[in-house]
Amino acid sequence: MQELLLYNIDLKKSIKIKNICRSLNISYNDVKKENYGYKLEYLLNLSKDETKSEGEDFNSEMLFIAGLNENTLERFLLMLNKKKCNVELKAVLTDTNRFYNSYELYKEISGEHTAMKKGEKLHQA
């Protein structure tokens, strides 16, 4: 399963990203705001748990990448760069974040992104 979840991507950029996905045989799904409360594993059809939580809404662009091997991920990221499709908030599926909902994922990676830009650490080692 190779899949990309797209959040708040404008139409022009979304078309470019979806074309890249098609060229690499990656499935994609635009996540609607009403589905942000579901766990990521549910959105990726890895679980049947329909538990839904509330959270603080967000409008930032975000990509969530699942199931890509290292080579495909590298090609995908290079193609994004080449097509000038910068999306600052990106994450890949892990054993931990699969249980997050979209609100929690956004909070985590936006915090990491802000800390990285400031040269700080979000989490203690």
Helices (H), 1-125: 11-23, 40-43, 70-82, 102-118
42-52 confidence digits (pLDDT tens): 999 999 999 99
Domain housing 112: 3-118
Instruction: Name the region of 20 (left: φ>0; alpha: ψ -120 to 50; beta: rest).
Output: alpha
- Is 123 inside a domain boundary? no
- In a domain? residue 22: yes
Q: Is 125 among the domain residues?
A: no
18 domain-assigned:
yes
How many domains in the chain?
A: 1
Q: For residue 3, which amino acid is it?
A: E
The reply to whether 100 falls in a domain is yes
Which stretches of the chain score pLDDT less than 50?
none
Indicate yes or no: pTM above 0.85. Answer: yes
Instruction: Give the pLDDT score at 75.
Output: 97
